[in-house]
Amino acid sequence: MTSSHAAERELRVEKWIAPGRVNIIGEHTDYNEGFVLPIALSLGVVCAAGPRGDGLVRLTSAQRPGEVVEAKVKDLVAQRERLPGWARYPLGVVDEFVRGGHGIVGVDLELDGAVPIGAGLSSSAALCCAVTIALRDLFAPELTDRDMVEIARAAENGFAGVPTGILDQSASILCTEGHALFLDIRAFTDRESGAAEQIPFDLHAAGLALIVADTGSPHDLADGGYAERRSQCDAAAVALELPALRDAVSEDLVRLRDPLLRCRAKHVITENARVLAVVDQLRAGAVPQGIGALLTASHRSLRDDFEVSAPALDLAVEAALDAGAHGARMVGGGFGGSVIALVDRADLVADNIVNRFATAGFTAPRVFTVEPAAGARRLD
């Protein structure tokens, strides 16, 4: 490339960011067409992008120094097997745009991610959403936020091969600063208006903090436990002759003969009710402390009925509660990852979690406070 071409290309490179998320409540409800209430984190994935005219996508990542992945934009699926795992997320998004007929000739993508990987904070959704919003602005400005959620999810489910629901991508695209996003997944999927509501969530004003403890015990959605829970939920809905567990009520549980399916369904039914109770309290302007007990009940349900917790997650929750947290729960798919706690004194709770992990001989957790941040956007 001549230097004048390089200068021209440099001028056309812009940057976008898409955040990770924590879900305040509503875990394993998204693929049952239920309710969720996530916030976006200030930690995100930054994507610098610019068009190129030679039919190639060229991909780099600050987390993979020295590695350059190049692929032909046409027929990415045929090239999938030779691509490194991390590159399948962004290239899956490119493939979705190509399939959608959005006229991408070539593109440079430079990624830089600050969401911890494997912490249950949706680093992969942040990655897909950052590339999606970049490509939307560059090549398909007519696409809506909802379209972007679907593209990012399709890339992750299809090309990257990870069977997520739609919670993480919705949170990364749709969340707004200072709010939790109340999403009725069935209504959202059916493209009904009013499916998403921004609920003010100002913890600071209430003298509260939300902490995240990343336990460092890895969480991997592709390793089978997540897919197994999804098929158990589907089996429970079939046994109850309902379209989805979203339609089940507590009285239905006696009709489930299989005790395992009964437990799984019980979690989904009670979790949806807890989301609605939290939303009612927040909408009514009640003190956010009041939602603490519901968060803790969610954790117990995920631990006992849905069986997706892990010893490090349980220990972090109990340590937070012992140190005065109003409520605490695991977040995300489970089997590892992170815990959130609603607290008055972040320092005291963080210290107790760290000390209890040391006593138990667990890897030191990473504890930090979070605030509801903005969703995916272009950076100036």
The reply on whether position 305 binds ligand GLA by CB under 6 A is no
Burial pattern 298-317, b for ≥16 Cβ within 10 A else e, equals bbebbbebbebbbebbbbbb
Helix (H, G, I), strand (E, B) or coil at 241: coil
Write the DSSP string, 253-291: GGG--SHHHHHHHHHHHHHHHHHHHHHHHHHTT--GGGG
Query: Do 313 and 298 contact (CB within 8 A), yes or no?
Result: no
Assess contact for 160 and 11: CB atoms under 8 A. Answer: no
Based on the shown chain and the rule CB under 6 A, indicate whether residue 27 belongs to the binding site for ligand GLA: yes
Q: By CB under 6 A, tell whether 96 contacts ligand GLA.
A: no
Residue 267 has which token pair? 């979690």
Torsion over CA: 5, 10, 16, 17 (sign): positive
Q: How far is the CB of 215 from ligand GLA (least distance, A)?
A: 15
Least Å distance between CB 299 and ligand GLA? 13
What's the rounded Cα separation, in Å, for the pair 289 and 205?
Answer: 12
Quote the strand ranges of the chain, DSSP E.
14-25, 35-51, 56-61, 68-72, 107-113, 179-184, 196-200, 209-214, 327-330, 338-343, 366-370, 377-379
User: Does 30 sit near ligand GLA (CB under 6 A)?
Assistant: yes
DSSP code of residue 98: H
Smallest gap from residue 267 Cβ to ligand GLA (A): 11
Query: Residue 28, interface with ligand GLA (CB under 6 A)?
Result: yes
Q: Using the minimum distance from each CB to ligand GLA, give the nearer residue, 61 or 338.
A: 338
Q: Rule CB under 6 A: is residue 97 a binding residue for ligand GLA?
A: no
Q: Which is nearer to ligand GLA, 27 or 49 (CB)?
A: 27
* 219 to 238: interface string for ligand GLA, x by CB under 6 A: --x-----------------
Q: d(Cα 13, Cα 11) in Å, to the nearest integer?
A: 6
Q: Which residues 319-348 are close enough to bind ligand GLA by CB under 6 A?
A: 332-333
Q: Indicate the residue among 139 and 306 with the shorter CB distance to ligand GLA.
A: 306
Distance CA 290, CA 25 (A): 14
Catalytic residue flag (residue 168): yes
The residue among 129 and 221 lying less far from ligand GLA, judged by its C-beta, is: 221
Q: Decide the pairing of beta strands 56-61 and 107-113.
A: parallel
The one segment of 23-31, 70-78, 82-90, 92-100 that binds ligand GLA by CB under 6 A: 23-31
**Nearest Cα to Cα of residue 325 among 347, 348, 341, 301:** 341
Q: In whole angstroms, how close is the CB of 292 to ligand GLA at the nearest point?
A: 19
Residue among 54, 112, 147, 168 flagged as catalytic: 168
Stretch 151-170 residues interacting with ligand GLA (CB under 6 A): 164-165, 167-168
Smallest gap from residue 196 Cβ to ligand GLA (A): 16
Using CB under 6 A as the binding criterion, the count of chain residues that bind ligand GLA stands at 11
Gap between the Cα atoms of 380 and 376, Å rounded: 13
In the bound state with ligand GLA, the residue whose beta carbon lies nearer, of 288 and 333, is 333
Contact between 38 and ligand GLA by CB under 6 A: the answer reads no
Query: Where does this chain bind ligand GLA (CB under 6 A)?
Result: 27-28, 30-31, 164-165, 167-168, 221, 332-333
Question: Catalytic residue numbers?
Answer: 168
